[in-house]
Structure 1
Amino acid sequence: MEKIRLLSTLGLMGAMRSLSSTFEAAHDIHVDSDFAPTLALLKRLRDGEAADLVILTREGLDEMIGEGRVVAGTTADLARSFVGIAVRAGQAHPDIATEAALRKTLLAARSVAYSRLGASGVYFAQLIVRMGIAAEINTKADIVEQGFTAERLVSGEAEFAVQQISELKQVGGIEVVGPIPHDLQTPAVFSAGRIAGAKHADAADRLLRYLASPEVVPVLRQSGLEP
């Protein structure tokens, strides 16, 4: 069985578990997947790590194309993702429907977990600066280097977790309250491209075509993404 190596942002982890199995069964190609935050993946690619296909934020993928690490013309936008807030299962859902409500909720929180290297964490850090509450939030923030922020809800270390909704949904024992108001965010676009010098270019192209096809739409939606 041919094997291809996929490096993917955490936002696609839930969807790819199911999609990889379907693809492998149909094409007799094994997908060896490694998931990490976009900024961590960019560093690994710049350090020379080998792969066949990569899924990053659109901005990250464009950087890789510009540096010649991803082949231009072998890319596809796969899904959009909004940043949301989650609480531990059974906890009351706070009001985050408007900017004013979100500000009040965040200021009243015991602690807020967000990521340092993920697109959601970069966005949230900028958002609280824009809202003028960065100092207050960061004194009680639980900043997660890598992985899923919602795990801090289960352990009791944080009251609220902020991350892409598709990433929040990867953790059991939590509930997604909803997205941060849409007028306060631009959704992340997750895009795939073939790595320059891929050892299994044809197989990578087949996986890319599959991930960009209409048949994957229900799986993307189920995992908290918008096609």
Structure 2
Amino acid sequence: MSHPTLLQKSRPLLAAVLLLGAGAAHAADIRVVSSGGFAQAYKNLAPAYERASGDHLLSEWGPSMGATKNAIPARLARGEQIDVVIMVGEALDKLMQEGRLVPGSKVVLANSPIACAVRHGAPKPDISTTEGLRNAFLKADKVAYSDSASGVYIETQLMNKLQIAPQMQGKAAKIPATPVGEIIAHGQADFGCQQRSELMPVEGIDIVGLLPADVQLMTEFSAALVRDASQPEAGRALLRFLAAPANAGTIEATGLLPAAAASTATSATAH
């Protein structure tokens, strides 16, 4: 495995300096809520932003959808003071349409593939083909998936595509709030699938691979400024920083496909 160079490690800080410069005359407390899919990338980028801007990020976590009290839509519905949200793009668009976010403030950060995992040391099923994935689901005693974007897809579409929905009744469970990897690590499920970026930080599991391309779902993660944010200018500076092409490598290292890198590549090809 290659290790990041000093230049690669410094890129988030360089991006922050270039984006913020002398504009951060007054330090601000920016309240941010991120869903799990982008959480590790955000955690890795946050220190560089704080050092360069002088702002303080007050960070919390919650799913992009679902019925738990920490879900981002539920937080906004009950009037929590939040400046920036980072979440599944489709769910963010819905909040934008409802008037809960500032029009035009959305920035696309990354796309996320779904991966599957087993408990560390357990035999790894071959899920490189649709038939292999189907067999992995059927042979597992207990399967776990999330209550957010990846889990909704698995429950409402993937099971039908694999033609195993009836067989999975009673042994496939949607997990609210808790990361699927933790459920597997603790032995409460022997196979499970979630965003790769959410599985990678969990100890005690082995990622066996991505869903096959013909049944894969890429989930967009985006960020936006909340309507009536207490720190709108600082929030916008944070959005610019998170979306900066210089931070693409840090985002990619967490298992995501950075939108900034794709945008830069497309732009370069067009010229």
- Alignment TM-score, normalising by the size of structure 1: 0.95
Question: Out of 16, 33, 36, which is 1:7 matched to?
Answer: 33
CA contact (8 A) 2:38 2:87 kept: no
CA contact (8 A) 1:37 1:147 kept: no
Give the length in aligned residue pairs: 226
Residue 120 of structure 1 is matched in structure 2 by 150
Bigger mean CA offset, 203-212 vs 96-105: 96-105
- Of Structure 1 and Structure 2, which has the larger fraction of its residues in strand? 1
Task: Work out the CA distance in 1 between the residues paired with 2:186 and 2:86.
Answer: 30
Residue 133 of structure 2 is matched in structure 1 by 102
- Alignment TM-score, normalising by the size of structure 2: 0.80
**What per-residue deviation string (whole Å, max 9, x for no partner) do you get for residues 107-152 of structure 1?**
0111111112x11110110211332212322311243111211112
Secondary structure of 1:21 counterpart: helix
Q: Structure with the greater relative contact order (CA < 8 A, sep ≥ 6): 1 or 2?
A: 1
Secondary structure of 2:94 counterpart: helix
Bigger-Rg structure (1/2): 2
**What per-residue deviation string (whole Å, max 9, x for no partner) do you get for residues 173-208 of structure 1?**
211111111221230000011011111001000100
Return the offset for 1:12: 1.1
Return the offset for 1:87: 1.1
Secondary structure of 1:85 counterpart: strand
Task: Work out the CA distance in 1 between the residues paired with 2:36 and 2:56.
Answer: 19
Residue type at the aligned position of 1:10? G
Residue 56 of structure 1 is matched in structure 2 by 87
Residue type at the aligned position of 1:27? S
Residue 23 of structure 2 is matched in structure 1 by none
CA RMSD of aligned residues (A): 1.2
Residue 111 of structure 2 is matched in structure 1 by 80
Aligned-residue identity in percent: 38
CA contact (8 A) 2:109 2:222 kept: yes
Bigger mean CA offset, 155-164 vs 138-147: 138-147
CA contact (8 A) 1:36 1:147 kept: no
Task: Work out the CA distance in 2 between the residues paired with 1:50 and 1:6.
Answer: 9
Q: Which runs of 5+ in 2 are unaligned?
A: 1-26, 66-70, 259-271
Residue type at the aligned position of 1:38? S
Task: Work out the CA distance in 1 between the residues paired with 2:29 and 2:173.
Answer: 38
Q: How does 1:17-166 map to 2 (within 5 A)?
A: 17-39=43-65, 40-116=71-147, 118-126=148-156, 127-166=158-197
Q: How does 1:129-208 map to 2 (within 5 A)?
A: 129-208=160-239
| Residue 261 of structure 2 is aligned to residue 224 of structure 1 | no
